[in-house]
Amino acid sequence: MRHRKAGVKLGRNSSHRKAMFRNMVTSLFKYERIRTTDTKAKALREWADHLVTLAKRGDLHALRQALAIVREKKVVYKLFAEAQERYGSVSGGYTRIVKLGRRPGDAAPISLIELIAPEKGKSPAKKTVKKESLIAGKQEAAAEKQETGTETDSALQAESAAGDGLAQKSEAAAGDGLAQKSEAAAGDGLAQKNEAAAGDGLAQKNEAAADESVADTVAETEEKAADASKADTDLN
């Protein structure tokens, strides 16, 4: 019986199991998330928490202990450089396991294990908020809403006044243009009438002058004829 024996065997001997977890924890800190079975993910979480604790300690001995576990030096240096800033405000809970379902083939339960970090500037502990602060916040929000509505109404009134003024100016301009066109048309009609009247008067004068010249010619012809007849009579 395995009483007081922590950990899982996973059907492997100790050397095989240790090598497997060293590879898996290296991939976890390198890519920040990996997919594996539920049992392996739960066992891997202990390895990841141990390495983050060493990185937060940050001394030379902790660095050497981490290098004895992780396969790649760049991953260890990156972890030690970011651990204090990323995990300094929390103690534990550095990983998260999300179940993904069953694996095709053997139907083994698959999970996603990933690194998480608390948001910057926020404490994980919940803060108690007093009712007075909530009421004050609601009153401020209502006042801001009223101010925003007043500003919106004044802006709308200004826009409507500007639109009315623009419409009045457009109507006045259209009326002026129409009046100018009417005056121009009236002036053109009067000028045409004057021209027609002048043309009629000139034509009448020309006709009268022509009639007078014809009458004079006829009178002269008659006088000449009378003189010729008188001369014939005297000769006889």
Note the pLDDT tens digit of each residue in 82-131.
Answer: 999 998 888 888 999 999 999 999 999 999 999 997 766 555 444 444 55
Residue 50 covered by a domain? yes
Helix (H) or strand (E) holding 100: strand 95-102
Residue 23 covered by a domain? yes
Confidence tier at 19 by pLDDT (50, 70, 90): very high
Q: For 119-157, how does the pLDDT look when each residue is reduced to its tens digit (9 = 90+)?
A: 665 554 444 445 566 677 777 777 777 777 666 666 677
- The per-residue DSSP string of 2-58 comes to -TT--S--TTS-HHHHHHHHHHHHHHHHHHSEEEEEHHHHHHHHHHHHHHHHHHHH-
Across 173-195, average pLDDT: 67
Q: For 34-78, how does the pLDDT look when each residue is reduced to its tens digit (9 = 90+)?
A: 999 999 999 999 999 999 999 999 999 999 999 999 999 999 999
Give the position of tokens 């910057």. Answer: 120
pTM for the whole structure: 0.50
Residue 27 covered by a domain? yes
Q: For 201-216, how does the pLDDT look when each residue is reduced to its tens digit (9 = 90+)?
A: 666 776 766 667 666 7
Residue 215 covered by a domain? no
Residue 53 covered by a domain? yes
Residue 60 covered by a domain? yes
Residue 105 covered by a domain? yes
The overall average pLDDT reported for the chain is 80
Residue 191 covered by a domain? no
- How far is C-alpha 7 from the chain's CA centre? 55
Q: Residue 36: which CATH number?
A: 3.90.1030.10
Confidence (pLDDT) at 236: 47
Number of independent structural domains in the chain: 1
DSSP-derived pairing of the beta strands 95-102 and 33-37: unpaired
Which range of residues forms the domain containing residue 36? 14-115
Closest-CA residue to 48 (of 68, 69, 63, 64): 69
Listed as own residue / partner, the contacts of 223-232 with beta carbons closer than 8 Å and 24 or more positions apart are none
Closest-CA residue to 38 (of 107, 118, 116): 107
